[in-house]
Amino acid sequence: MERDSQLELYAAVAARLKEAHARVRALQVPEGVRMALSRKLLVVTAAAKHDLPDAARRLDRLMKDLDEGRFPEGD
């Protein structure tokens, strides 16, 4: 039973990561901001390999920031 919930969480995180990548690509922001957001997505992807619940929380925060128009400073 627990394995099923892990698989469901994995599928949900994977789908949301795909959506997040598409949203970042579509943003009309300076390249430095896009790169900073892409790095955040890479961190979430790496976290998903070791701590799926933490990755889901990080992704939730990132998506909320995108929804609210809060973007990191570009280099």
Asked if residue 10 has pLDDT above 60, the reply is yes
pLDDT of amino acid 59: 96
Residues 6+ positions from 55 with CB-CB distance below 8 Å = 13, 44, 45, 47, 48
What pLDDT score does 3 carry? Answer: 79
Distance (Å, whole) CA 65 – CA 72: 9
Q: For 61-70, what is each residue's pLDDT tens digit?
A: 999 999 999 9
